Each structure stands twice: as C-alpha cells, then as structure tokens.
Amino acid sequence: MKEKIFQISATLAAVSMSAFILVTSISLPLVAMCQRAIVLMLSLFIIFLTCPWSKKKGARTGFFDAFLALAGLAVGAYVLFFFDELVNRMGMPNTTDLIMGGIAVLLVLEGTRRALGWPLPVVTGLFLLYNYFGEYIPGTFGHRGYDLGRIINQMYLTTEGIFGVPLGVIVSIVYLFVLFGAFLEKSGGGNFFINFAVALAGRARGGPAKIAVIGSGLMGTISGSSIANAMTVGSFTIPLMKRIGYRPEFAAAVEAGASTGGQIMPPVMGAGAFIMSEFTQIPYLKIIAAAAIPAILYYFCLYMNVHFEACRTGLKGLPPEEVPRMKKVFADGWVYIVPILALVTILVLGYSPARAAYISIALLIAASMVRASTRMKPVDFWNALRDAGMTAIAVVAACACAGMIVGSVSMTGLGLKFSNVIGSLAGDKQILALLLTMFASLILGMALPTTANYIVQASIAAPALVALGIPVLTAHLFVFYFGVFADITPPVALAAYATAGIAQANPMVSGLIASKNVLVAYLVPFLFVYYPALMGKAPLGDIILVTAAALLGVVALSAAFSGYFQRRCNALERFLLLGAAGLLIYPEYLTGALGLSVLIALFIWQGLKNKKDLPGEVTGKV
C-alpha cells in the first residue's frame, strides 16, 4: 500500500512538472530562479519516492524517504514563497536562509547519488571542501577560503550555484526536447525510426548492424542520451545482429557507438549543446552547424567498420520477408517527419530552441491526429507527460549538482588557476594543451555523465584552451566531444556496459571494439582545431574538398582496421591503407592527392585479384 501511494504521488509530480514546463515556457513565464526552484523541488520529491537508499536487490523506499521527499519540496517552496525577501537581503542571509540552504545542498547531493550513483556527488563534495579549506592549500591552487555561510549563500541563494546556468538550460530548453521525445515515442515515432532503418539497410550485408547505426543515430538526435538510446534501440538491434552471425561483443560495440554518437548529432545533441550556447553566448544554430561534419564523419566511420566486418566474415542481411518496403514505411510514418522538419526549419530561421521544440510538439500532436493508427488518446498524453518527468529527474539532479561546481569555480577563481597551470605545462605548444585536456575529459567522463563532464570542463579546461588562442566554440566543442566519447572509452565505458548486458558480452572487449569502430572520432577534434573547414569555417570549395578527403580517409582507416577492402587484406595492404588514411585525413592538397592515389591503386589491385577468384577468399563490394 505504501509503495503504491509513493508511486501515485511521484506520477502526479512528474505530470505536474511536465505540464508546468509547457505552460511557463511560452505563455506564463516566471522569474528564472522561481521556475528552477519548482522544477528542482518536484524532481527531488520524485527521486526520494522512487529511488531507494541502496541499489541492492529488494531495497525499497520507506517513511524516511517520504520525509526527505517533503524536505525537497520545502527547500524549493522556501525560495518560491520568500523570493522577494531573499532578494532584499541578498548577500546577508539570516539563520533560516542558511539552514534551508544547507538542507538543500545535502538533498541535492543525496538525490544525485540516488539517481546517478556516487561519482558526481563525490566530485561536487570535493569542490565544496575546496571552497572551505582553500587557505590551507599551498601553491597555485590555494585561495583565502570561505566560511559555511558564504558557501551556502552562493550555492542556494544565487543563480551561480544550484539554480545556476546548467539547471536553467534544463528548465527552459532541454525539458521541452525531453517532452518532444516522449510525445514522439507515445505516438509511435520510435517504431517509425526503427522501421525506416530496417527498410533502408535491412537487406544489405550485415543489415542489422547498419540498422543499429542508422536507427540509433536517428533516435539519438532526439533523445541525446547514450544509455537510454542503447537500451531502447539495442533491445531490438542486438538480438538481430547476433542472429545473423555477429559475435556478441561486436554487436554490443556497434550499438554502444551508434547510441553515443547521438549526443554529437544535430539538431538536438543532448543537453550539453544547449548549455554550451549559454556558456559561450554563441547561437545554438552556429553550434549545430559547426558540429555537422564531425558527426557525419563519426557515423560514416562506424558504418564502414560495420560494412567491412560483414564482408570479412561473409555475413548477409535480413530475409526479404522481414524487411518492410520503404514506400509503406513513409506512408505509415510521414506524420513524424513533419515535426522534425519543422524543428530544423525553425532553428534555421533563427528562432530560439525552446520555441522550436514547443512548436514541434504542437505539430507532432496535430499531425498524429490525422491517422487513426497514430492518433494519441488521453492516456497517451498522460503517459508522455509522466515519462518526460521521470526521464528528466536525473538530468535535473545532475545539473543542480554540477551548478555547485560552477559556483565553486566562480568563487575561487579555479578556472584562471587551471588555465595558468595548463599554460605553464604546455608552454606555447597547443597540441600538448589539447592532449592534456583530452585526457582530463576522458577521465572525468569515466565518472560523470556527459552533461556534468562538459559543465566541469567548460568551467576549468575550455578557458585554458581559449587563453592559448583557440577560438571559444572550438575549445568548447573539443572538451564536449571527448566528454561524450568517454561513454565508449574503456575502462569505464558506460554505453558499452549497457549494451554488453543486452548482448551477454564482455563489456571491456565491447568498449575496446566500440572505440576502434569510431577511431576517427578521437582524431577529428584535433583536426578541427587546426583546420576550421571541418567545422564549416572556410570557403565552400575548401569545405567540400576537406570533407570529401576525410570521408575517403575514413574508408581507408576502417578497411585497415577491419582487414578487408574489396577482399581480405594482407599485412602490406593494411599498412598501405593506414598510410592512405593518414594522408587523406590530414587536410592538405598534396597529402590528399597522394593518399587518394594509394587508395585508388589498392582498389584496382584488389579488384584485379578478385577477378582471378582465388579459392578461400571472401569477396564483396564496398
């Protein structure tokens, strides 16, 4: 009975939070801090009612959790009801303010632990301790230190802490896209994406793996979550891949790589890109335009690795009777294309992402009503609002927690100190600074969710790169990308662990294969620092040539690592392919022409060998 009451209460809170976001985003705007306080208090309420203290099997929420849930409501309501008084005594909090603030900090840390595990709260706790004990830290990173009152005031009573930019972006923009994804799923849009991928690639060599690449890419552009994407699409694609002959580790790796790439694929790119727009004050449209070519290279690399693996092992596609006709897929699912095209069009026209998401939700609902098979019933609306709320609580908690890290950096000047350290270690060598930042992003990404990782790196590492002369957008995309790639980088490759569970595979091996399958992803961020054409910052002719050369380089790189081009490759052929890849990916006319010559020569050579039809060779076409 108790659990049922908790579940009903959490559901009502989730639906209320989603409805609140829809109403206040456009028609009834609130003061930013009040709006953020309401979303945070409802999120904490849901977390404490639905996430037990322990992750052990059989653990349940109890009356103490209900007490914490009510405390979560109280710390948000305090800001809401006493907002004017808090503003009037800004910087001079009274005892009640500090008590409520201290409770709020502890609740956010505990709520984040329950929703996401220990790493982010531990990192945040270390930053809070750094604020307090700064005077005892020698050297560059020491500072004068702050008392508890000053720290709590910063974290709870300003917009440079819990209620800072990260939480603000979630409330004002990201939550709307979560709602869009929820309505899309409840109207059948998820099935449309999968059916589209099946129709497009199902009959090709290794069809199910290519379905995973295309389907997860499409889903990822909306969901922006590698883990959620992997669990949703992977439950369909991984069994298919295993059925036609892919080994479990490879199947898990393909889905992990495809799902992770959704976070760098426009037009949504997850919460990180929206927060990037706020941090850098660069329009969101410019960010997704700069991200387009690297995202294409990422997915093309994954696709070619899948293709060459299928050719090398002689795998086939799905039987024709299991592949729907493209014409029928579009006839049944055109209603889902309308809102997505509208989303892109509205962004291109220069309107805000929030307005684009809001209009797209309205168009999706209207379009779904045209056909009986897609028409949403009242229960679907209710479930969409509920699912969006339940999905959003983890990222709300993460961003509230990460906001305290940003507040700590602001208080202590840690960003400037870190910039000075990077500058002194790297000297005038940008490449060394980039390597140090890459390792920091990957290491942080092993412990933190992508959004939290980016927030930390945007606060301390990106300014260091900017100080070395790297453009602001380039620096922020650099740290963002490596934060994303941490999800597939061993030893803690969270996306690979998720998919390995479905595939019953070794997660470490799956992570290694996933990293190999998208190897170009680890190179592209370095390349776009030195060659802005890969971010669209060059004359059109240069952009086309550089992109075409990079795509051919991806083909050569994938063939070299797969050991297959038009046929199985010997050691010399793999070495030449690797050399051609390096020459093509390095975007200069002379090196590109040389790399292309090597690639064409190998293509002709293997084609001639195929004509001899040597016994025991597996043949196929690129």
Residue finishing a domain among 130, 158, 186: 158
Q: According to the model, what pLDDT value does residue 621 have? A: 41
For 51-84, what is each residue's pLDDT tens digit?
999 878 778 888 999 999 999 999 999 999 999 9
Residue 224 confidence (pLDDT): 58
568: which strand partners? 564
CA atoms of 610 and 567, how far apart (whole Å): 7
Confidence (pTM): 0.87
The three-state secondary structure class of 564 is: strand
483 falls within a domain: no
AA identity, residue 516:
K
What confidence tens digit (pLDDT) does each residue in 292-326 have?
999 999 999 999 999 999 999 888 888 888 899 99
Nearest by Cα to 356 from 290, 277, 261, 264: 277
d(C-alpha 46, C-alpha 111), whole Å: 10
pLDDT of residue 622: 39
Q: Are 184 and 148 in a shared domain?
A: no
Tell me, yes or no, whether 88 lies in a domain.
yes
User: Cis bond leading into 463, ω under 30°?
Assistant: no
- Flag whether pLDDT at 274 surpasses 60: yes
**Domain extent at residue 118:** 2-158
Q: Which residue has the higher pLDDT, 577 or 197?
A: 577
Q: Given this model, what pLDDT does residue 225 score?
A: 65
For residues 175 and 112, membership in a common domain is answered with: no
Which of residues 368, 401, 434 is at a domain's end?
A: 401
**Beta-carbon count within 10 A of 193 CB:** 26
Phi-psi region of 145 (alpha: psi -120 to 50; beta: other; left: phi over 0): left
250 lies in the same domain as 373? yes
Distance CA 153, CA 440 (A): 30
d(CA 117, CA 438): 24
Q: What is the DSSP letter of 522?
A: G
Tell me, yes or no, whether 133 lies in a domain: yes
Q: What is the tens place of the pLDDT at every residue in 191-200?
A: 888 888 889 8
DSSP label at residue 262: G
222 has pLDDT over 70: no
Tell whether 119 and 216 lie within a shared domain. no
> Can you tell me whether residue 619 is helix, strand or coil?
strand
241 and 376 both lie in a single domain = yes
Asked if the model's pLDDT at residue 414 lies above 80, the reply is yes
Q: Is the pLDDT of residue 615 over 70?
A: no
Collect all residues with Cβ–Cβ distance below 8 Å to 84 and sequence separation of at least 6: none
Q: What confidence category does residue 620 fall into, taking pLDDT thresholds of 50, 70 and 90?
A: very low
Within a domain: residue 539? no
Asked if 395 and 372 sit in the same domain, the reply is yes
Domain total for the chain?
3
Please report the pLDDT score of residue 618 as a whole number. Answer: 46
Rg (CA), the chain: 25
CA angle (88 as vertex; 87, 93 as ends), nearest 5: 80
- Of 252 and 3, the one with more pLDDT: 252
- Range from 19-33, 303-317, 598-612 carrying the lowest mean pLDDT: 19-33
Residue 617: predicted pLDDT = 47
Q: What 3-state DSSP class applies to 390?
A: helix
Distance (Å, whole) CA 544 – CA 553: 14
Q: Does residue 513 lie in a domain region?
A: no
Residue 424: pLDDT band (50, 70, 90) is confident
Mean pLDDT throughout 464-487? 92
Q: What span, in angstroms and rounded, lies between the C-alpha atoms of 358 and 437?
A: 36
Q: Give Dmax over CA atoms of the chain in angstroms.
A: 87
Tens digits of per-residue pLDDT, 116-134? 888 899 999 999 999 999 9
Q: What is the mean pLDDT of the chain?
A: 89
**Position with higher pLDDT, 206 vs 257:** 257
pLDDT at 427: 75
On whether both 144 and 174 belong to a single domain, the answer is no
Same domain, residue pair 186 and 133: no
Same domain assignment for residues 182 and 119? no
Say how many residues make up the chain. Answer: 622
Q: Is the domain of 153 the same as that of 175? A: no
